[in-house]
Chain A
Amino acid sequence: MAKPEVSEAWRQHSTISRDEILARLKDRALVIVNVMPRETYEESHIPGSINLPVGEIEAKARQLISNSLQEIAIYCAGPA
């Protein structure tokens, strides 16, 4: 089944590339969020990213990032 066009556009719009993250590691305007469990996060993560395990998003997201307009990049383990 062919995916509708708008959906594809939406996908492109809402992803962030590796290069952009790399370039913006020190950018204060971008918050990088790691959604893996705490232990996995402790093992390795993108420098400067914060940990917000998926299960805790509901409870803690507002505390961590109070601004709804905040630019956020989320990532997890990636395709294994």
Chain B
Amino acid sequence: MGYINVRHYIGGMADWGAGGAQVERSSTSTEMFQARPSVGRNVARHLSWLEILANWPLERLICFWLGMIMAFGVVYWLAGISMGWGLQAGNTEVKPDLSGLATAIYFSFVTALSIGYGDVIPLGALRILAVIEGIAGLLIFGCVISKLVSRRQEELMEEIQRTTFDDRLDRVRTNLHLVFSDLGAVQQLQAERGVLPEQVLRRLESTVRVFRGELQTIHDLLYRSSVEPDEETLESLLANLVICLQSLAEKNGSRPSGDGQSAALDAALRSISNLAKEICGECVPRVYAPSLKESMDQIQELARRIA
């Protein structure tokens, strides 16, 4: 789901109750959940009203804003009818008829947007109401604007993250393929006559180094990534990894102990083995499909043979 800050209370209710801590019975939280399954509300204890407002979807925010302006307009108009102190346009009081209502709503918009032409002015206590509307209008309008901006920004961020992620996976796949063919080439080189063992060793060393880097990436992907690759991609990655490891394990088994040991090569191999050992269906943080788990277990098995 992309949440990166999740922690598990393993003891659960059993542990909680056993410790004698307070529990809550069927509470308003549940009813709230069923009645209003919308953003933020259920986590109300974590949010102030302004944050709740900011969490509303854009459409609702705009509707609320327009509704508020209309409501204020009607109130100005009604105040003019019933209490005698209403709005004043020029030097005449706004009439309590339909055109008066239109003027009141017009005044409401001008106030909420903090334009304030001053062609219609509020009288008496309506001035207080107008100030309140001005403040509320500004706040909500600010939320609308920030929502618009951040929405675009979020889209962009997601896009960027996805492309770089896909790019990286693509690169890993290509490199794994390279490693595999290189291992084959090394084998061939070894079989040929007249090639110095050092040459073979150097080639093998560089291949193993590249392999180590890619393995590290896959390891990180399984353990740390906040983005989840789709199963198909992961499957092909793991399959590639398996054949590379297989090839490397064979290579390692057939390597005569005499032919020029290299400390760098040994270190790289050890590191590969350590990384690969940590890849198994049981030990990675997430749960994957059985076929993926199988490949992971295979990887761990091969890692043992390399070390």
Binding site for B on A (CB under 8 A): 3-7, 10, 14-18, 21-22, 28-29, 31-32, 36, 38, 41-51, 57-58, 60-66, 68-80
Contacts and interface: CB of A to CB of B under 8 A. Distances in A.
B12 A77 contact: yes
A73 B37 contact: no
Contacts of A16: 7-9
Contact of A14 (B6, B26, B27, B282): B6
B55 interface: yes
24 contacts: A4-B278, A7-B285, A14-B285, A15-B8, A15-B10, A16-B8, A18-B11, A18-B15, A21-B9, A22-B21, A29-B46, A49-B29, A50-B33, A51-B30, A61-B1, A62-B1, A63-B37, A63-B38, A64-B39, A68-B2, A70-B5, A72-B3, A78-B14, A79-B10
Interface in B254-281: 277-278, 280
Interface in B1-53: 1-17, 19, 21-27, 29-30, 33, 37-40, 42-43, 45-47
B23 A46 contact: yes
Of residues B23, B40, B45, B47, which shows the largest number of chain A Cβ atoms within 10 Å of its Cβ? B45
Given A4-B283, A57-B1, A76 B26 contact: no
Given A18-B16, A74-B6, 5 more contacts: A15-B9, A28-B47, A73-B8, A74-B7, A80-B14
Contacts of B11: 18, 75, 78-79
A74 B23 contact: no
Contacts of A78: 10-16
Interface residues of B, number: 47
B30 A41 contact: yes
B223 interface: yes
Contacts of A79: 10-12, 14
A44 B16 CA distance: 10
Of residues A4, A21, A32, which shows the largest number of chain B Cβ atoms within 10 Å of its Cβ? A4
A50 B42 contact: yes
A65 B26 contact: no
A6 B278 contact: yes
Nearest to A30: B46
* Chain A interface, >50% SS class: mixed
Contact of A45 (B14, B23, B38): B23
B284 interface: yes
Given A18-B15, A18-B16, A72 B45 contact: no
Contacts of A70: 3, 5
Nearest to B38: A63
Contacts of B223: 6, 10
Of residues A38, A57, A62, A65, which shows the largest number of chain B Cβ atoms within 10 Å of its Cβ? A65
A63 B39 contact: yes
Contacts of A22: 19, 21
Given A60-B37, A68-B4, A44 B42 contact: no
B7 A73 contact: yes
Contact of B26 (A10, A43, A58, A64): A43
Contacts of A50: 29, 33, 42-43
A12 B77 CA distance: 64
